[in-house]
Amino acid sequence: MVNIESETHETIKLSPSMKNILLLINCIVLSIGHCGGPLVTRLYFIHGGKRVWLSSCLLTAGWPFIFVIFVGIFCFRRAIIGDCTTKLFNIRPRLFLASAFIGILTGVDDYIYAYGVARLPVSTVALIIASQLAFTAGFAYLLVKQKFSSFSINAIVLLTIGSGVLALHTSSDRPDGESKREYVLGFVMTLGAAALYGFILPLVEFTYQKAKQVIDYQLVMEFQMVMCVFATLFCIVGMLINHDFQAIPREARNFELGEIKYYVVLVCSGLIWQFFYLGAVGVIFCSSSLLSGIIIAVLLPVTEVLAVIVYREKFQAEKGVALILSLWGFVSYFYGEIKLNKKLEKKRRANMELPTNQIAVP
């Protein structure tokens, strides 16, 4: 993340190599969560699962995994290193409240996303989620003053058109036994999930800027854990109202893959989705919310191909058109980024040489 000269924001300075390594790790973590999460969630629904609130809760319910890591680091520093000043958590009230608010928004997003996955094939969901990049870009411009080039704007337009192509043929891959109304509602809910999470990513970056405390990677993990805790609590309230807890044992007994595998699917869903959220906020810390949105969009073809292979989903012409438009958008964006980086590097070198040239003039 770029350090901002402000008394409200300070980040730990990392060497370029360390920053790149940390960014790469978060990209891998994000990739595992983004590609595996939808597949496991869909597995729950296609084999007899019907609880949308339960499924949405699982998207963030893996936060105890992060808590275990914190406890391990704390015990290691206290017992092995002998650092008596170390704390289990460093997050301050201002950042805690911000992460709690974002967590509630995430809980809302989890529900509408799970609703869409329950009614749409994974490959269709993946293409609709590609429109998230347009929302991320727009909100990044408003919240964190993200700069854009003609290439990034072109990518956003192409991704948006790709989702529009699917909207024109909503009945072509409707699952058997599902009404057109349910399918259209699933489409709208998934698009809403893309828009809301497109707002959440820049909001996280904006929160980092206004944190009024030093932002390091441990604090990023704390932020993500608090966010997931409140998102989970929001979904638990929905589960209580919908009587999901009473229905879980009955649903497990009737699950097509067996009762034991039912619970295995639930646990795996919670863990894999935790990778997604941890990777997303980690990429924001290392770079920007726009890059996090770009990586999510770039993984679209992988998720879609996996869905076609694993679940033998249909792949009609409109999906192919949408996929081509999406890939075209990705290429446009990265080509623009390469050109921009070369231009900035050339400008940086010119600025470094300028003082020397000025001194050499008699």
Q: What is the pLDDT of residues 251-270, one digit of tens each?
A: 999 999 999 999 999 999 99
User: Tokens 């649903």, residue?
Assistant: 251
Q: If we measure between CA atoms, which residue out of 275, 260, 236 comes closest to residue 65? A: 275
* pLDDT classification of 8: cutoffs 50, 70, 90: very low
Is residue 178's pLDDT more than 70?
Answer: no
List pLDDT tens digits, range 322-361: 778 777 877 777 777 777 767 777 877 777 765 545 544 4
Q: Note the Cα 278 to chain centre separation in Å.
A: 8
Contact partners, residue 208, CB within 8 Å, separation at least 6: 1, 9, 11, 215, 284, 285
List pLDDT tens digits, range 328-337: 877 777 777 7
Q: Do 194 and 128 meet the contact criterion of CB atoms below 8 Å apart? A: yes
What SS3 state is found at 227?
helix
Is the full-model pTM beyond 0.85? no
For the chain, the first-to-last Cα distance in angstroms comes to 41
* pLDDT classification of 77: cutoffs 50, 70, 90: confident
Domain spans of the chain? 10-148+181-305
Write down the mean pLDDT value for the chain. 81
Residue 9 backbone phi and psi in degrees, to 5 = -150, 130
Separation of alpha carbons 35 and 295, rounded Å: 11
pLDDT of residue 1: 35
